[in-house]
Structure 1
Amino acid sequence: MTGAEAAYRSNMRTPRWLLLAICAAALFVGLSHQTPARAAEDTPRQLTKVTLQLKWAHQFQFAGYAAAKAKGYYRDRGLDVTILPATPGDKPMESVAEGKAEFGVGTTDLLMMRAAGIPVVVLAVIYQHSPLTLMLDARNDIHNIHQLARGKIMVAPHETELSAYFAAEGLDINQMNFVDHTFDVEDLKSGRVDAMSIYSTDEPYQYAKEVGPVRLFRPIDGGVDFYGDNLFTTEGLLEKDPKMVQAFRDASLEGWRYAMKHQEEIVDLILTTYGKRKARDNLLFEARQSANLILADVVPVGFINPARWERIAQHYAGLGLLPKDMSLDGFIYAQDGVQALPAWMPKALLGATLVALLALLAGLWLAAFNQRLRREMEEREQAQGALAQRTGELEESNSQKDVLLTVIGHDIRNLFNPLLIYAQLLADPSRNLDPKTVQEYGEKLYEAGRNASEVLENLLEWALVRTGQRQTHMEVTDLGALARQTAGVYSSDATLRGVTLRVEAGPPIKVQLDRHQMSTVIRNLVNNALKFTPKGGEVSVRVCRDGADAKVVIADTGIGMDQDLVNRVLSGASADLATGSKGEIGTGVGLALCRQLVQVNDGRLNIEENPDGGTVFTVTLAVADVSASDAAD
């Protein structure tokens, strides 16, 4: 990065909350391919010239607009679009407000502009999650944000999203040691600072390539979840030419849908058309990381949730940057077109509400249960002698409950967001949904509900085991037959996902275990492996004997788990979020349950990296001591 670029990046990351956007769509299959009627062949078509002002230089961050221009989506809608990159010292959002450009790409600073009397209007949200992140060298001994609070942190001016992150974690920014940003990763490499603010779509790749692995602390981990890049214009232009604004928005979103489906093609387009400021491998990394933040395969690009903007405004108001009673009337673009709700819609909304209510009830039940355990632990701590061992067990139990309650209270909304979003899309009276789109959203609604049901089932099973309400009934069982029977249930699911499922039960191995509990372990591990293995991958289930031990080995070629996460899962201290190959949100509750059930059956659970890519889960149990006649049976 040059000195000029660094100076400009400092200005642009003011604040750099390219926050998440649960984007969900304004153009569907039928509408997205409609084009304005063409003029007669003997009459040259008159194109309207407009300018789009970017917030940074050309890169994959703006791929959708480049695709819309190259593929003719703008021209098909009667527009001749000039795409202007930002240069050092520019104020790109102000350029739109001043009339130098009709459209722009901006941050959530648009709220502050609106509060200052500048009538900007958000047309669409592109990024569902913000790339603004704190990066540490992975060799650093700092493993959480509270440890980092004692170190040196390099941030750019006005990165308010990070201030909101620190506040959400209970930190006092006045007591923290901040260093002016130099935009030079050498400061992190040399240890001059412990962390620096970066974009997760950019700097981590170059640092890992030149120095080594990194560790990231994201504001979303602390519940600070803002929108990212926003396409916007002004009220004046919207009132003057609403059809042209609609056409530009439609073409831009069509370009984004194309770019997300053809990432390599658009990377090559950026290199050939807009210069080679970044290497191809760097742009491809940016494309993959952007896809994880945009999530176009989960929700349609461009969706705006007014309630989400209100929460962002409340964050700013809490920091004293906006008035608490600020109205968002006119700030969010509204499309024309109203229709009656379909007859089946109340049932769909009722189903979504019931599932969400079940999650809430489960959370409240566990919260009450956790409170009771706290009281019981305090009573035990006053006892002497024989109660000491029990006290230790309660402390361990309470620690694990805190982890799961953190998941429920802090991340359960992520589990149900897809369900609620698709219910909202189906219920939105401003959208004309064709049957194909309704079916697609219905399928995704079902997937979200099924995933929620699995998590709730695991939570309740975990609670029953921990409270002793689920009794353990040990019996001698053929481990191979149990594994074959349990894993075989997932054959159809594997076929639908395009994943090969292989089960090798081997010769009979007698093990003393609780059949229900061990079946739950195998079911969770196989289901987990299938979720996080992409199409074309493989999941294998193998049962074998190793001396006095019997093993169930479940291996996949999926996305894998980093060593930090493995260590936290095996220690019972983590239940991190992850996203499956079909967009399923996982909470780690299933792994916490598996660990507990394996221990109850006097076994061990190991998690290792698969040499072929992915993860290997190994459940080790003792071979049962049975007579020859019993073994023959």
Structure 2
Amino acid sequence: MKIKKIYVFLFVLTLIGVIKLFQTGLADNAGAQNGSNLKKVILKLHWKHQFQFAGYYAAVEKGLFKKAGLDVVLEEPDEHNDPVKDVIDGRAHFGIGNASLMLDHAQGKPIVAVAPIFQHCPKVLLALKKSASRPSDLIGKKLMVEPQSAEIITFLQSYGVSLSKCILYPHAYSPDPLIKGEVDALTAFLTDEPFLLQKAGVEYHIFSPIDAGVDFYGDTLFTSKNLVEKDPDLVEKFRHASIEGWIYASNNADEMIDVIFNKYSKRHSIEHLKFEADQTKKFIIPEVIQIGYSKPERWSQIAQIYKNQKLLDEDYSLEGFLYEDFTQVKVVYHIWPVILISLIALFITWLASFYYKLNLKLKAEIAQRRQSEENLARSEERYRNLVENTPLPIAITLLETREVRLVNNVFENKLRIKKEFIIGKQGGLFYEKPSSRDEIFDLVKNYGYLKDHIVCFKDCEGSSITFSMSASLIEYEGMPAVFFILNDISEKIKREEEFNKLSSTKDRFLKIIASDLRSSVSTFQSILDYLIKNFNLLKEPEKTDFLYSLKNCADSTYSLLINLLEWTSNATGDLKPAASNMSVYQAVKEALEFFGERASQKQITLESSVEESLKVYCDENMFKTALRNVVSNAVKFTMPGGRIKISAEPLSERGSIKITIADSGIGIKRDRIDKLFNVDTTFSTEGTEGERGSGIGLVLSHEFIKKNNGELIIDSDIGSGARVSIVLPQTKTGGQA
């Protein structure tokens, strides 16, 4: 009787609780739907309307903010563009920043990082190709750097470039100054400005902080410490609705593009917005990491990078900067789950009356199950030990659901993704071709194993990796599973491709050399045969002419063999540049002396205006070989009575010396200039007096100059002669040499 009274009492309490919760839920829903009760909230953007803020547009358009009781206004930046100041001064409730918010926090500004939306920062420095080929070239150049660009500043400092060494201009929030050449570089987003530069046909370099190990969070939602402490409920509602908006925008990019274009801004075309949407997903990576996920350890790593660059004091602490410092676990009640739990509670109460009868039977089953679980645990432990101690990437995936259940540290490092973001998810996101996964599982299911199957994966950054995959069926966690072991063969395939290309190039090159050697030797033999038969009949001037012809033939053959030996050493990697400071004047003087006799025979004038003080920093033998080949070609293709002039000038803006060999010869067709540097498309052309050549000299010269951080440039046209320029780094001074 007492037991029945207890049941009745529990039922009444549960029913009262359900009614109360139901009433609370109705009141909350009514409040959210009543427009007059909506709280106005301002979100300050740090750029103009575009897909970069698609999640917030989605939260507005889909009523997610309104459902949370918020009337949200999205404001573009003004000419000052300082969201931090706007939030602290109360002109905005929330703002969009990035990892540089930490520097503001270190200065005592009361701000809190609520949620990093971009897991990687797409902010880069775009530089005109003609202005800079490496970060250090930006010293003394014109830069536009927007506020909150600490990752760019950190990146530049790692290359010894501080902003004080550059000429700074206020950011125009447009790539137009770069397109017009008004500045040399500006900060930009990889998701946006490259589209406009490509459309405008501007050649540019991308300097990315990620390439230098400066991998910061990108767009981060933040607010003031005052708002977090005074109205934590508003902050949590705004954060939750924003993340829900981003999830919707990630899954419905085309719809959000139409919304942005038709309701917010036509500044970007539909095509531009699609480009931005595709690029944005690479930095949010929603299929790998939960949107808004914030890892304190990563913030600590960012802080350490700032400290290393002296942007933060060594005693700086993250305390009070992260939203997690102010939040506690909150239990959110929903009506239907509560009702379901209440019904389950009633059922358990009813079931308790049978507990005694079932007790003995359950004990036996529990003991049996415990034994099975122990056996299974021992089996799984063996698999875990095998997986963790193998030096190759390993994964265990359930056969039916394709769910990843276990990966080792090598797998984690190879694909650059944390275990917590892999376990429990479908393994298909790693396959470069999703159809490959189904094919592999079908093969394993039908045959029980897989051996040395070639498959292409992509890591979390989108880089392709080629694996040789082996797999076998096992039982894991009491279910059929597949044990995968991977062997990275990307480098092997790359080496095979390079070897095949080198082998093909070698075969073609040897055919060219063999043909030219055969021709040279044949000419040599013909002249000798003629001299032997007619020596006594020839006059002295005729004998002299024949001897010069023999010498020219021997010189040509010697140059051919020297180029062959040097090309072979270069192709096999045996030839390494040994750079030193060397005189341009002396090298030019030697080249002119070497070809003086041949030029004199063709009545060609050789001139040099190179100053004795000019020096370059390069491998002496490589430079002299390249110079000889270029001068040899000039003599070969200049008509008798012509002129060859060698000049040199410093390029101070590049820190280089430009040596130009200009001739009055027959010139080169413009469509053949690019082919001169490729051994696969080399061709031999006879000189103005029938001189032979293999066409390999310029290929070798081009490779030698490249190895010494220089350029070989040809400017010519038929009938106007040729101008060949060799650009090399200027001499280094002091300890640098």
Q: What is the TM-score of this pair, normalised by structure 2?
A: 0.45
Helix, strand or coil at the partner of 1:418: coil
Task: Give the conservation status (yes or no) of the 8 Å contact 1:35–1:76.
Answer: no
Give the equivalent residue in structure 2 for 1:493: 437
Relative contact order higher in (CA < 8 Å, ≥ 6 apart): 1
Task: Give the conservation status (yes or no) of the 8 Å contact 2:284–2:291.
Answer: yes
Shift of 1:68: 0.2
Unaligned runs of 5+ in 2: 1-24, 332-373, 395-409, 443-450, 466-485, 506-737
**Compared CA separation, residues 267 and 594, structure 1 to 2 (3 A):** same
Task: Give the conservation status (yes or no) of the 8 Å contact 1:124–1:231.
Answer: yes
Give the equivalent residue in structure 2 for 1:251: 241
Unaligned runs of 5+ in 1: 1-33, 363-410, 424-440, 455-486, 499-518, 533-574, 582-586, 607-633
Q: How many residues of Structure 1 are paired with residues of Structure 2 in the alignment?
A: 390
Give the equivalent residue in structure 2 for 1:595: 494
Task: Give the conservation status (yes or no) of the 8 Å contact 1:55–1:93.
Answer: no
**Compared CA separation, residues 492 and 110, structure 1 to 2 (3 A):** closer
Percent identical pairs in the alignment equals 31
Give the equivalent residue in structure 2 for 1:125: 116
2: CA distance, partners of 1:43 / 1:219: 47
Aligned-partner residue type, residue 493 of structure 1: R
Shift of 1:217: 2.6
Give the equivalent residue in structure 2 for 1:328: 318
1: CA distance, partners of 2:187 / 2:382: 43
1: CA distance, partners of 2:31 / 2:199: 55
Task: Give the conservation status (yes or no) of the 8 Å contact 2:40–2:71.
Answer: yes
Aligned-partner residue type, residue 143 of structure 2: M
Aligned-partner residue type, residue 442 of structure 1: G
Give the equivalent residue in structure 2 for 1:420: 419
Q: Pick the aligned partner of 1:204 from 194, 213, 234.
A: 194
Give the equivalent residue in structure 2 for 1:384: none
CA-to-aligned-CA distance 1:500-547 (integer Å, 9 cap, x gap)? xxxxxxxxxxxxxxxxxxx96xx54xx22xx47xxxxxxxxxxxxxxx
**Compared CA separation, residues 219 and 247, structure 1 to 2 (3 A):** same
Give the equivalent residue in structure 2 for 1:180: 168
**Compared CA separation, residues 577 and 44, structure 1 to 2 (3 A):** closer
**Compared CA separation, residues 269 and 174, structure 1 to 2 (3 A):** closer
**Compared CA separation, residues 131 and 601, structure 1 to 2 (3 A):** closer
Give the equivalent residue in structure 2 for 1:93: 84
**Compared CA separation, residues 241 and 142, structure 1 to 2 (3 A):** closer
Task: Give the conservation status (yes or no) of the 8 Å contact 1:356–1:416.
Answer: no
Alignment of 1:507-526 (within 5 A): 523-524=453-454
Shift of 1:67: 0.7
Give the equivalent residue in structure 1 for 2:473: none
Shift of 1:447: 6.5
2: CA distance, partners of 1:219 / 1:109: 13
Aligned-partner residue type, residue 578 of structure 1: G
Does residue 75 (structure 1) correspond to residue 66 (structure 2)? The answer is: yes
Q: Pick the aligned partner of 1:236 from 226, 246, 251.
A: 226
Aligned-partner residue type, residue 208 of structure 2: R
Aligned-partner residue type, residue 330 of structure 1: G
Alignment of 1:39-78 (within 5 A): 39=30, 46-78=37-69
Aligned-partner residue type, residue 592 of structure 1: E
Task: Give the conservation status (yes or no) of the 8 Å contact 2:127–2:186.
Answer: yes
CA-to-aligned-CA distance 1:227-263 (integer Å, 9 cap, x gap)? 1111112222222222222111111100001111111
Give the equivalent residue in structure 1 for 2:286: 296
Give the equivalent residue in structure 1 for 2:143: 154
Q: Pick the aligned partner of 1:578 from 424, 437, 462.
A: 462
Shift of 1:318: 2.1
CA-to-aligned-CA distance 1:190-221 (integer Å, 9 cap, x gap)? 76766443221111101101215644231101
Give the equivalent residue in structure 1 for 2:550: none
Shift of 1:330: 2.3
**Compared CA separation, residues 594 and 35, structure 1 to 2 (3 A):** farther
Shift of 1:52: 1.5
Aligned-partner residue type, residue 53 of structure 1: K
2: CA distance, partners of 1:591 / 1:141: 35
**Compared CA separation, residues 356 and 324, structure 1 to 2 (3 A):** farther
Shift of 1:94: 1.2
Aligned-partner residue type, residue 161 of structure 2: I
Task: Give the conservation status (yes or no) of the 8 Å contact 2:119–2:217.
Answer: yes
Helix, strand or coil at the partner of 2:323: coil
Shift of 1:294: 0.9
2: CA distance, partners of 1:442 / 1:276: 42
Larger radius of gyration: 2
CA-to-aligned-CA distance 1:99-133 (integer Å, 9 cap, x gap)? 22222211223212222222211111111121221
Q: Pick the aligned partner of 1:442 from 408, 424, 432.
A: 424
CA-to-aligned-CA distance 1:539-575 (integer Å, 9 cap, x gap)? xxxxxxxxxxxxxxxxxxxxxxxxxxxxxxxxxxxx9
**Compared CA separation, residues 599 and 327, structure 1 to 2 (3 A):** closer
Alignment of 1:16-31 (within 5 A): none
Shift of 1:604: 6.6
Give the equivalent residue in structure 2 for 1:109: 100
Task: Give the conservation status (yes or no) of the 8 Å contact 2:151–2:214.
Answer: yes
Aligned-partner residue type, residue 279 of structure 1: S
**Compared CA separation, residues 361 and 79, structure 1 to 2 (3 A):** closer
2: CA distance, partners of 1:134 / 1:350: 50
Task: Give the conservation status (yes or no) of the 8 Å contact 1:595–1:605.
Answer: no
**Compared CA separation, residues 350 and 320, structure 1 to 2 (3 A):** farther
Aligned-partner residue type, residue 596 of structure 1: R
CA RMSD of aligned residues (A): 4.9
2: CA distance, partners of 1:41 / 1:50: 14
**Compared CA separation, residues 226 and 44, structure 1 to 2 (3 A):** closer
1: CA distance, partners of 2:187 / 2:68: 40
2: CA distance, partners of 1:76 / 1:302: 20
Q: What is the TM-score of this pair, normalised by structure 1?
A: 0.52
Q: Which has the higher mean CA deviation after the structures are superposed, 41-50 or 98-107?
A: 41-50
2: CA distance, partners of 1:302 / 1:417: 19
Helix, strand or coil at the partner of 1:314: helix
Task: Give the conservation status (yes or no) of the 8 Å contact 1:50–1:102.
Answer: yes
